[in-house]
Chain A
Amino acid sequence: MSKLRWAPLLLLLLPPFYLDMFWLQAGLFVMAAAIGAIGLNLLTGSTGQLSIGHSFFLAIGAYGYVYFAGESDGHVAGLGLPTPLAAVLAVVLAGLAGLAFSPIAGRLSGMYLGIASLALIFVGQHVLFNFEKVTGGYNGRSVEPMNLFGFPFDGSTDLVVMGVPFGAQERLWFFGLVLLGLAAWFAYGVLNGRPGRAMNLIRDQQIAAGVLGVPVARMRSAVFTLSSMYAGLAGVLLALAFQRAVPDYFGVLLAFEYLAMIVIGGLGSVAGAVVGAAFVTLLPQLLTRYSDSLPLVAAAGGEGVAPSDAARYLYGGAVVVIVLFLPAGLSGLRVPFLTPRKETTP
């Protein structure tokens, strides 16, 4: 029975065969954001540690990958490593950056950490704009496509599966799906096991956690490091989907968006992080795509509210509404078909 619950997820294998580029691209962004949001939710939702520095680790993942995988030329430096190795190293690098922040991440609690982590954004932006050899400066730099054991994730070789030509988006879709699946699976394991219980207790009863033997500071920095690695992985996937990494993208607004994702989806919930990521990521794209047929929203160059602004009103407002009326977020809504009631003995 519980195995069958996951069956609807198989539907996620279908889009590359039926949907066009726009949807596949949007889906990739959702997957990347979902990985990052799962990581942030481990920290903020489950452990009660706020981070507004998350986009810094996304940047490290993205630029780490670009640097490790890219080739040097006149403007930018790169190591030209095999792409899978570059991706792994980028995630490790994000983790190390998170670990380096652990004297702060371990000792500050909740909101205090939130404000302190704001520093990461500004220091990060400073480094990204100044470290042009690695980041390409203001205009960013292009991203080396993933190549897994001789299989390229771009359109450079012809591949036709069941009559559908598989270009970059189609291939990356499956790559992203696998990464997201693994990220979610790992997070569930952590949350349902010994570390997850300790994380929840740190959030709910910090002193009791210490008394019961949880090394609170060490646990906080460990979770911070883990969530940085999730952000790093998200950054890698984002870079692959964008095919270009631009410093400006990794600012305060992005960090706020990730917080919006986990609140909208449901704090502390893995599925919630995915739902929230889909909501916040798809909203501007849908509004842009359908701006012609939506009231108030402006088509490109037209009168009215630009789709990106409209999206901000909507997800910003959603955060407030959900904190007020739906403390468990969208994933806490009981959809009879998708969420079977948990067995409870009376």
Chain B
Amino acid sequence: MTRLLELLINGLSLGAVYALIALGFVVIFKATEVVNFAHASLLLLGGYVTAVFHDDFGFVGALAVGIVVAAAVGAFVEFFLLRRAKARRDVIGIATIGIDIVLTAELSRRLGTSVLALGDPWGNKVVQFGGITIAQTRIAALIVAAVLIALFLAAFKYTPWGISMRAVAEDSETAALMGIRLGRISMSAWCVAGALAAVAAVFIAAFPTPGLDRTTSLVALKAFPAAILGGLDSMTGALVGGLLIGLTEALVGGYQNELSFLGRGLGDVAPYAVMIVILLVRPSGLFGTREASRV
């Protein structure tokens, strides 16, 4: 029972982090209709910068630099690729794969085989209550993710920026005619997504994970199934999808001894299996709008 509770809390925390990544991914898709395949490498970048600077600037300072750099690279991609390419949106999506290849190659080269600490204040400390043991990083992840998500959703709902963003997502042409600057909205989406990814990097690399290494971006890839099983164009979907993926991973990973007939390392595959099952039942995800067709 305690084990299950531990797994559930860990899963929720992990899921909240995936939700954070998926949220950025969905924001980009809503604002620009481009699927950003470079998202995982943006995360790796944010994490790497944080790891490099934490000795000099302290954790918070380094994280701030990481956030700024990831947001800036997101903006850079928006400015030099999205605005200039005349190709179809899905071809631009493939072009972000090119960016991912370059970014991942460069970061992997710098990382080599090393595992970097991000210098977060929680270290490997744990909290115990009612017989269950939870790492502090997991609780921090849950709180930080929840706060950021709440802030983001509030901004999306109430600020002029959020309203413009929703208008663009609904119908970008009309939004432009109403005086909304598409370029700004699109660039801000990329910035926000980069920043959220950088924050998520901290918790993906924090305890009990040994640290940031070249496989961190593979972990971050799980935000893709999270985003699509929720529905690529739905914020709620990204949240639910993230939690679902996190819980699945934690539970399957936790009980993998009982599931050993399915092979080792099942926790890493289970999220993808869940995605497939959900897409079989609902091709546009749990909360996604069915492809609206205008003829």
Contact = CB atoms under 8 A, between A and B. Distances in A.
Direct interface between A and B, CB < 8 A? yes
Nearest to A119: B272
Interface stretch (B135-143, B158-166, B217-225): B217-225
Interface in B254-295: 263-266, 268-269, 272-273, 275-276, 279-280, 283-284, 291, 293, 295
Interface string B84-121: 11110011111101111110111011000000000000
A320 B99 contact: yes
Contacts of A115: 35, 224-225, 227-228, 232
Interface in A98-131: 103-104, 107-112, 114-116, 118-119, 122-123, 126-127, 129-131
A309 B91 contact: no
B101 A129 contact: no
A324 interface: yes
Interface string A314-332: 0111111001100100000
B147 interface: no
A103 B282 CA distance: 11
B73 to A, nearest CB: 13
Contacts of A313: 102, 105-106
A114 B91 CA distance: 12
A111 B102 contact: no
Contacts of B90: 48, 50, 110-111
Contacts of A223: none
A270 interface: no
Contacts of A146: none
Interface string A246-274: 00000011001001100100010000000
A114 B95 CA distance: 13
B148 interface: no
Interface SS majority for chain A: helix
Contact of A129 (B228, B232, B264, B272): B264
B220 to A, nearest CB: 12
Contacts of A114: 35, 37, 93
B92 A323 contact: yes
B154 interface: no
Contacts of A320: 81, 95, 98-99, 102
A260 B97 CA distance: 8
Contact of A260 (B35, B101, B221): B101
Given A119-B275, A323-B85, A323-B92, A112 B232 contact: yes
Contacts of B37: 52, 114
B95 A122 contact: no
Which of B95, B100, B264, B265 has the most chain A CB atoms inside 10 A of its CB? B95
Interface in B168-187: none
A116 B221 contact: no
The range of chain B's interface size is 35 or more
Contacts of B295: 207
B105 A316 contact: yes
Contacts, number: 134
A306 interface: yes
A75 interface: no
Given A260-B101, A316-B99, A316-B102, A122 B81 contact: no
A289 interface: no
Contacts of B227: 115
A259 B109 CA distance: 22
A5 interface: no
The range of chain A's interface size is 35 or more
A312 interface: yes
B276 A104 contact: yes
Contacts of B272: 118-119, 122-123
A278 B219 CA distance: 31
A190 interface: no
A333 interface: no
A116 B264 contact: no
B263 A127 contact: yes
A324 B85 contact: yes
Nearest to A317: B102
A340 to B, nearest CB: 27
B204 to A, nearest CB: 17
A320 B273 CA distance: 31
B94 A50 contact: yes
A107 B284 CA distance: 9
A52 B90 CA distance: 13
B86 A327 contact: yes
A12 interface: no
Given A115-B227, A123-B272, A252-B221, A263 B95 contact: yes
27 contacts: A48-B90, A52-B37, A104-B280, A109-B291, A112-B228, A114-B35, A115-B35, A115-B225, A116-B275, A116-B279, A119-B225, A119-B273, A123-B272, A207-B295, A252-B221, A256-B101, A260-B97, A263-B91, A263-B95, A309-B106, A309-B109, A312-B102, A313-B102, A315-B98, A315-B101, A319-B101, A323-B95
Interface of A: 44, 48, 50, 52, 103-104, 107-112, 114-116, 118-119, 122-123, 126-127, 129-131, 206-207, 252-253, 256, 259-260, 263, 267, 305-306, 309, 312-313, 315-320, 323-324, 327
Given A111-B232, A118-B224, 13 more contacts: A44-B94, A107-B279, A107-B283, A119-B275, A123-B273, A126-B269, A256-B97, A260-B98, A305-B109, A323-B81, A323-B92, A323-B98, A324-B95
